[in-house]
Amino acid sequence: MTVRLLGKFRDYRKTFQRDTRGTSAIEFAIIAPLLIGIVVAIGDVTNISYGASNMQSAVRAGIQYALKGGTDAPTAQSQADSAWTMKPSGATIAASKACKCAGLSVDCALPCPDLTSPQMFMTVTATASFGGNYIRISKTATETVRVR
C-alpha cells in the first residue's frame, strides 16, 4: 500500500511541477507590496524635499536682509517668515544678532577693548517637521553671516 501511495505522490509531484498556471499571480503577490511601498514613499519624500527647500529659501531671505546691511534681528526674522511659503504648522523661525571682540561675546553698543568696532554676526534659524503619511522628519536650517 505504501508503494502505491508513493507512486501516486510522484505522479502528483510531476504534474504539479509541469503546471505553470497561477505563477504570474504568485509573482505579483510577492512584488506588489514592495511596489506599493515605493510609490507611497516617493510622495512622502517629495513633500519632505519640497518643504525643506522652502525652509532653506526662507532662511536665505533673512540672511539677504543682513547682507544688504540690515542689523535688526526682528526685521530679519520678519523677512524670513514672510518668504516661507506653505509654512507647516508648528514651524519656528528665529533671528539673532551677536557681537564679538577677539572671539569673545560683547555688547554690540560698546567698542572692543582696543577701541575698534566689534564684529557683528546675524544668525537665522528655522525648524520644522516635514513628511507625509508614513515618513516624517524634523529639520533645522541655520545660516550665519558677518554683518560688520
CB atoms within 10 A of CB 32: 10
pLDDT at 7 over 60: no
How far is it, in rounded angstroms, from Cα 100 to Cα 110? 11
d(CA 61, CA 122): 12
Number of helices (H) and strands (E), helices first, in the chain? 3, 4
Going 57 to 63 to 67 to 73, the CA torsion angle's sign is positive
pTM of the full structure: 0.72
pLDDT tens digits, 36-72: 989 888 988 998 999 999 999 999 999 999 999 888 9
Please report which helix (H) or strand (E) contains residue 128, including its range.
strand 119-131
What percent of the chain has a predicted confidence (pLDDT) above 90?
49
What's the whole-number average pLDDT of the chain? 86
Domain range annotation of the chain: 20-146
Q: pLDDT value at position 43?
A: 87
List CB contacts of 12: < 8 A, sequence separation 6 or more: none
3-state SS, residue 56: helix
Could you tell me if 120 and 143 are in contact, meaning their C-beta atoms sit under 8 angstroms apart? Answer: no
